[in-house]
Amino acid sequence: MAQPAVSIAKKKQAPSLLEFLYKHGTLLAILVVIAYFGITLDRFFTYENFSDILRSISIVTLVAIGITFSLIVDGFDLSVGSTVSLATIASAAALVLYRQEILVTLLVPLLLGVAVGLLNSLLIVKLKLPDLLATLATMYAINGVQLTYTKGFSIYNDMPLPDGGTAPGKFIPSFLFIGQGEVFGIPFSVLLMLVVVIAAHLFLTYTKPGRLFYMTGENREAARLSGIPVNRYRTYAYVISGFFAALGGIVLASRIGTGQVSAGASFLMDGVAAAYIGFSVFGAGKPNVIGTLFGSILMGVLLNGLTMMNVPYYAQDIIKGAILVGALALSHMQKK
């Protein structure tokens, strides 16, 4: 009778280890990565470096929160990276080419982000196209629009114009403060990120509309039969995704001080990885904003350390892909 008892004990121990890794693996990974880079890199534990990490994390988190909303309703948005680029170009053009003030500069890219979300919801909700194919088509269309508008060139202060003159406007200090300014030593973009994370978490956790988002994604037919306007909440999710991607593009443009073509392309992979890593934080097992924040922190610290170690950007993409596969595999194993 001793052998079956040992076998049962082993069976109980294995799931408990997997459950521990599923709940706390992301936090352990963050601590291990910080410790490793802190030991191997002399300049890792400096204020300047941590400030740079936090600024980059803020953009990824804003984009990833939008992706999280689309995942909550059982969808997916591949167009966020191109939307970031579109917002970056739009805000730069408003300042440099059209000499607009801060209100118009913020409003135009945000409206463009909402328009992208409405386009995605039209294709997915109304025309019933698969979300991956619809948002993939939108991604390429947006890339084509920004390349056509800019003719492939970046937008920056004193840039030459086709008529031989120079651009009449410039990046104003109030706009640059969004990505470069600090409040009591804390980057303003980080404070903006924290406000958005807290607001989104409270909305999804403690309000009726937030719970309806989750109910829509968990069982669409059951939600519809219970009276929930499923298509409306799916539309909301894609509009929110476009809005936060545009907000991330504004922060990016204000941080780098130029409107670079396809500058947001890398944020698609970073945002998706952060959102899926967030599934496992504290064993949530579903898309959640707090988990997405921790996923962004892991990605930000890891990529910063790899950059300081002079790891090529194409090799970093391999690591990003491996992290995403690991997060998906761990989530799948836990569900089984």
Give residue-wise pLDDT tens across range 131-141.
999 999 999 99
pLDDT of residue 282: 67
- Over residues 152-181, the mean pLDDT reads 93
335 band by pLDDT with thresholds 50, 70 and 90: low
Q: Structure tokens of 48?
A: 């300047």
Q: How high does pLDDT run on average in the chain?
A: 90
pLDDT of residue 1: 45
Judge contact between 238 and 77, C-beta under 8 A: yes
Domain ranges of the chain: 23-36+43-333
Looking at per-residue pLDDT, the higher value among 281 and 44 belongs to 44
329 band by pLDDT with thresholds 50, 70 and 90: confident
Query: For residue range 37-87, what is the model confidence (pLDDT) as tens digits?
Result: 999 998 899 989 999 999 999 999 999 999 999 999 999 999 999 999 999
Q: Is the pLDDT of residue 311 over 60?
A: yes
CA atoms within 13 A of residue 87's CA, in its CB half-sphere: 33
Q: Is the pLDDT of residue 27 over 90?
A: no
C-alpha 68/C-alpha 62 separation (Å) is 10
Rg (alpha carbons) of the chain, rounded to whole number: 22
Q: How far is CA 134 from CA 121, 130, 139, 146, 238, in A?
A: 9, 6, 9, 19, 12
What top-level class would CATH report for the domain 23-36+43-333?
Answer: mainly alpha
pLDDT of residue 336: 64
Q: Identify the H or E element spanning 182.
A: strand 182-183
- Residue with tokens 């996923």, as numbered in its chain: 295
DSSP code string of 308-324? HTT--HHHHHHHHHHHH
pLDDT of residue 108: 97
pLDDT of residue 12: 47
Nearest to 323 by CA among 289, 261, 286, 278: 278
pTM assigned to the model: 0.91
